[in-house]
Amino acid sequence: MQRQKTIAKWLAIILLLTLTVAIYLALNAVLNKNKGTTPPDIAGAGDGGGTSDIIPPPPVKEPVYSSLPRQGETVGELTVSHVGGDCAEALLDSAYYEGKRLVILSSESEQYDVRSKGIHMALFDGHKLRDVCKIAEEDEVYVGQGLVQNGLLIITKTADSTKLRLYDGECRLIAENSCEGYSSYTLFRSGTSVTLFAANADKLVALNITRSLEIARKNFLHSIENAELLYAISLTRTTLVVQNQSGIKIISYDENEGFCCESELLNCRFVQLLPSISGASRNFVIAAESGEGIQLISIDGATAKPDCSFLIEGAASVALLTRGNNIIAISGQTAYKFCSHLELQDSYAITLDKGNYDMPFDVNGDGIIYSAVNGENELFILKNETKFALMRFDGESVLPVFAAAGTNPVLVREPLEGGERRVSMLFEGTAANDFSYMCFGAADVFYATLSSELTMPSN
């Protein structure tokens, strides 16, 4: 009897094991059949919310591109346009060509006005942004631009080459070429002749550029270490202003005789150059920073040698202007009046008139920089790290003409009927201004034209 019970118990166990194996095999078959597919949502499975444990990837956002052309807007006494993307843009340069303002900028953006990283050129017709075209890749460094006989020449460089591109007034590329790379450049045009002066670690050379961008290096060179080319100006000869670690060099160049160092200004750093007319010769004044302040040096146009100097002791920056036959240097709250040969005539305190603008920052504060504008007799720029103001000097007082939150301000002029030229400001603007609701990213490049009433001297 006991033996029969034992046999029945083992038979039951074997039956249960058989059923378990059968169920396992059935489930395994079902799972293998559905392998590679997304299991259906099962109420109570996973986190208890009726959803799968698999997290779907985030949706890919399509870039947003602007619809161009885009008209500028009138904001107060300004006409304002902008160009930019979803990142911060940097203003590099600008030119006025065939009745249009061409603005060169670098960008890391990939949407809105800018579709890929690199160097771009924006074409403004009036204040209508017509187009934005890419002109160089992101591994290129902007060097400069110049209007030549048959277009706008844009120069960039890479680690080992110099790239030249010629554009027409519609931002269309019409010629390109390249040559070996240099560390510093300045472009000089005289009539139909175009010369690119270039320097590397130990020498200065001249490259002649034809209409089709053929490049011919002249055999002349000038030995100089780590030269930074600042200006090329036309005096008795083509004259270069060059900075290196020892100071400022004035170097002349002749197509038939080559380079010659005419004079040196030692132990100083270049700040500004101001052309001035003295009798029949074209003189110019250099402002340079030294350990004692700002040194002003008059350079004789016939000999390219210094003939007079003046030290503004303790000055950190200066704006050089001209009024009639006089040279004016503004530093701090003092105006220094010189004759055309840089002999001091007078110095006096100037007043700061707020006019229609609050001063954007304390003129006596830390980090204030004065900078003059080439070709302007009364206007100059006052700036710090985050703000700037366009100022006008009337001989006794300084009045803010335009102020904004932004950096890298540049004053430009465009011709109007009757021979007048309107004043515009280019700068890297932020959302901190009343007119910058149109800003796409952290900073866009703004193009703001001032009304004539703002820039006219008060009676």
Q: What is the pLDDT of residues 105-118, one digit of tens each?
A: 999 999 999 999 99
Residue 39 has pLDDT above 50, yes or no: no
Rounded average pLDDT over 235-263: 94
* pLDDT of the residue at 75: 86
* pLDDT of the residue at 337: 95
Number of compact structural domains in the chain: 1
Best-predicted range by mean pLDDT among 18-27, 66-75, 348-357? 66-75
Q: Are 170 and 180 in contact (CB under 8 A)?
A: no
- In a domain? residue 339: yes
Rounded average pLDDT over 448-452: 85
- In a domain? residue 299: yes
- In a domain? residue 28: no
Q: Are 337 and 238 in contact (CB under 8 A)?
A: no
Residue 428 has pLDDT above 90, yes or no: yes
Q: How confident is the model at residue 350 (pLDDT cuts 50, 70, 90)?
A: confident
Of 54 and 133, the structure prediction assigns the larger pLDDT to 133
Rounded average pLDDT over 159-178: 95
Closest among 93, 74, 70, 98 to 83, alpha carbons compared: 70
Residue 252 has pLDDT above 50, yes or no: yes
Q: How far apart are CA 267 and CA 434, in angstroms?
A: 44
Q: Is 130 helix (H, G, I), strand (E, B) or coil?
A: strand
Residue 25 has pLDDT above 90, yes or no: no
Q: How far apart are CA 356 and CA 16, in angstroms?
A: 97
Helices and strands (H and E) in the chain: how many: 2, 34
Q: How far apart are CA 424 and CA 271, in angstroms?
A: 23
> Which residue segment(s) compose the domain that 305 sits in?
268-349
- In a domain? residue 441: no
Say which CATH number the domain at 345 has.
2.40.10.480
- In a domain? residue 341: yes
Rounded average pLDDT over 268-286: 82
| Residue 9: its H or E element | helix 2-34
Closest among 253, 271, 273 to 261, alpha carbons compared: 253
* pLDDT of the residue at 407: 93
- In a domain? residue 69: no
* pLDDT of the residue at 57: 79
Q: How many residues does the chain have?
A: 459
- In a domain? residue 289: yes
Of 40 and 214, the structure prediction assigns the larger pLDDT to 214
Q: How far apart are CA 246 and CA 227, in angstroms?
A: 10
Closest among 268, 263, 218 to 239, alpha carbons compared: 263
* pLDDT of the residue at 46: 42
Of 345 and 7, the structure prediction assigns the larger pLDDT to 345
Q: Are strands 369-372 and 351-352 parallel, antiparallel or unpaired?
A: unpaired
- In a domain? residue 169: no
Q: Are strands 397-415 and 351-352 parallel, antiparallel or unpaired?
A: parallel
* pLDDT of the residue at 459: 45
Residue 255 has pLDDT above 70, yes or no: yes
**339 exposed, middle or buried (CB, 10 Å; 0-12, 13-18, 19+)?**
middle
